[in-house]
Structure 1
């Protein structure tokens, strides 16, 4: 069996205070990853600052920026300096009153190759994203790069098999998920374990069902809630649990981080997807003639 090896890196970090501080740390971490041979670097969701969606406040919209804009320029320069493809995650200002949670892909020459606007937007205690983000309108389209065709999705998208499947059907060679997920520190340990296990299982399912490697990069650290003094549900802040990981096309772990900041570097064999899909031909056996009801919200 042939091998086509791609060295990838996931930058798992905590919030360092503001965009300048976070991007400075990212620059250091990408340099570390490149020194270890990485050719593709994935950053966590909304890496420029704190996870501001723990409350609803119009002042947070000041954090948004256009794409292309200052952050894509800086990430592009970083990609070019180290000759790596960088996948970032930004708060996009598209127009007045119109904002998105957007992933960006920078080629190794610094070019902004494309972006993906998060399609599935949550609205739960501590995760009030519908206040800030308009659902994506760009579809599920992989982005071609020098290291392969990347199926980039964002966080809440990770719970939807349809999103992963559509990226796979469009020819994605890898699935990438910048994410920001953690638990309420007030939850009992059993509940925390169930949540994290479910998150990992969802990614392993996407890898298996589509015969593709999966990269998921999470943030770490406790981030307090701006609503703490009001004491509503979810006001104890979020403990982001890390555990960023790289999976192979049978859901196997290639690498996994712990609960602290990390530069997770490993090699992915892109040829294995071909081999796995030959023995598990799920795409061949799909009954596309029988799936029309998937377009319904619910089958009453």
Structure 2
């Protein structure tokens, strides 16, 4: 990936300085100073040795008279796969576990309270191939599978809530597969799970060959550190999906994703969608994307008239956090594994709600009535023409 652009941030820093850089940061990120948080020397050394990026930024709230600050450290991990896709399933999974454990250990020594992985982090994103084998063999139980057992130990060791996106094998219901986020408590218990609501049918990302729309609604998980929710990948394109997590009281919404920079990809939307959701719903968001190229043993086509190929293109990383005020931090690299940490004061959510009154002015009653009419078989769009009386 030597020829790939490292990051948008690298382009800006290499070409702007002084007042121009301050103004860019103010207009694009929402503040001149990124409020970078100092990391331990041991963390920086471990990251260098394991070859991953690590960065941390603060999202403070104004001091209140009646509530103490609600400070929580939140981390996200982006990474490439650990072994070639033609290796045995268990070998591929172990290689990812080995690299990710080093990143979790750094998060643990930095005191991270909640951490979230990218979409289907423990396997290659093989759904583009439309092949069933061996990819379905990566599926496992959300409650008792090897990935959850692996993470339980780390959750208890570091008193850390872990959000783990996996391919779930629903053994209680005819072995059906789901794209599922498992939420593991800092006690090591599985608090619950959420299944991906919106399944793409776009070119290579026709994931309905493997799993269908989820059946868990919009759950919010009450953890020791705050109320969190998981809007899995394609759900970020659906405004009402983001909205319902907010209606159910989410304070932080994670968006674990697997998205590419190719022509049919979404890189130009990536910096907008999770940020828009944070602004509209007055909560913190975290956008997480995987990294690297993933080449598969057999060629596949993309229904676009182009020759068959063995990879999807670049998964461009660029994971970031955004606050309810719309202020975001710099993203991680487009090409490198990384750990991004946010030190956030959850009091900011209510402060922004009080300031902007979005929830007070949202008119859900009007939308409920309008949407009920849209679903009617005899619906006629409300369009007014020039000569209508």
**Same fold (TM > 0.5):** yes
Q: CA deviation at 1:255?
A: 4.4
Do structure 1's residue 182 and structure 2's residue 260 form an aligned pair?
yes
Distance change in 2, residues 1:96/1:266 (3 Å):
same
The whole-number CA distance in structure 1 between the counterparts of 2:201 and 2:154 is 34
The whole-number CA distance in structure 2 between the counterparts of 1:39 and 1:274 is 21
Q: CA deviation at 1:130?
A: 0.6
Do structure 1's residue 211 and structure 2's residue 268 form an aligned pair?
no
SS at match of 2:149: helix
Aligned mate of 2:357, from 281, 290, 293: 281
The whole-number CA distance in structure 2 between the counterparts of 1:167 and 1:35 is 30
Q: Please report the RMSD computed on the Cα atoms of aligned residues, expressed in angstroms.
A: 1.9
Distance change in 2, residues 1:250/1:197 (3 Å):
farther
Correspondence for 2:124:
50
SS at match of 1:273: helix
SS at match of 1:141: coil
Correspondence for 1:8:
74
Aligned mate of 1:294, from 371, 376, 384: 371
Aligned mate of 1:150, from 228, 243, 254: 228
Q: CA deviation at 1:128?
A: 2.1
The whole-number CA distance in structure 1 between the counterparts of 2:112 and 2:276 is 26
Q: CA deviation at 1:170?
A: 0.6
Structure 1, unmatched stretches of 5+, are: none
Q: CA deviation at 1:226?
A: 5.4
Distance change in 2, residues 1:144/1:230 (3 Å):
closer
Distance change in 2, residues 1:74/1:138 (3 Å):
same
State the TM-score, normalizing by the size of structure 2: 0.71
The whole-number CA distance in structure 1 between the counterparts of 2:182 and 2:366 is 35
The answer to whether the 8 A contact 2:128-2:204 is kept is yes
The whole-number CA distance in structure 2 between the counterparts of 1:229 and 1:121 is 20
SS at match of 2:75: strand
Q: CA deviation at 1:277?
A: 0.7
Q: CA deviation at 1:299?
A: 6.1
The whole-number CA distance in structure 1 between the counterparts of 2:301 and 2:252 is 43
Q: Which has the higher strand share?
A: 1
Correspondence for 2:182:
104
Structure-to-structure mapping, 1:1-300, within 5 angstroms: 1-2=63-64, 3-17=69-83, 18-59=92-133, 60-68=135-143, 69-94=145-170, 95-96=173-174, 98-184=176-262, 187=263, 195-224=266-295, 228=299, 232-233=303-304, 235=309, 236-259=311-334, 260-291=336-367, 292-294=369-371, 296=374, 300=381
SS at match of 1:238: coil
Q: Which moved more, 1:108-117 or 1:58-67?
A: 58-67
Distance change in 2, residues 1:58/1:264 (3 Å):
same
SS at match of 1:228: coil
Distance change in 2, residues 1:257/1:206 (3 Å):
same
The whole-number CA distance in structure 2 between the counterparts of 1:97 and 1:163 is 27
Q: CA deviation at 1:207?
A: 0.4
The whole-number CA distance in structure 2 between the counterparts of 1:240 and 1:56 is 19
The whole-number CA distance in structure 2 between the counterparts of 1:255 and 1:82 is 26
The whole-number CA distance in structure 1 between the counterparts of 2:77 and 2:365 is 42
The answer to whether the 8 A contact 2:204-2:302 is kept is no
The whole-number CA distance in structure 2 between the counterparts of 1:206 and 1:229 is 34
Rg larger for? 2
The whole-number CA distance in structure 1 between the counterparts of 2:315 and 2:380 is 36
State the TM-score, normalizing by the size of structure 1: 0.92
The whole-number CA distance in structure 1 between the counterparts of 2:150 and 2:295 is 28
